[in-house]
Amino acid sequence: MQPWRPHFTIENKLARPWADVLNHNLSADFKPWQIEIVGTDLWAYLDGPGEHAAFVPFVPTPHL
């Protein structure tokens, strides 16, 4: 099983040289910000467009 590595996909299936240019351009002006994550979407990647499989909401837990 892979470790949990939450991320945002900016561009998928982009040729490496174009991906490097995009990364450089986005990194130049990037400023972190806070967001609230309410759940996760699960997608099945087929040989074409992905297929949405499920949305799994995060449930708040009481502090222990």
Higher pLDDT, 21 or 1: 21
* Per-residue pLDDT, 50: 83
Mean pLDDT of 1-11: 80
pLDDT at 61 over 80: no
* Per-residue pLDDT, 55: 94
Question: What does the buried/exposed string (b/e) look like for 5-41 if buried means 16 or more CB atoms within 10 Å of the residue's CB?
Answer: eeeeeeeeeeeeeeeeeeeeeeeeeeeeeeeeeeeee
Q: How confident is the model at residue 64 (pLDDT cuts 50, 70, 90)?
A: low
pTM for this entry = 0.48
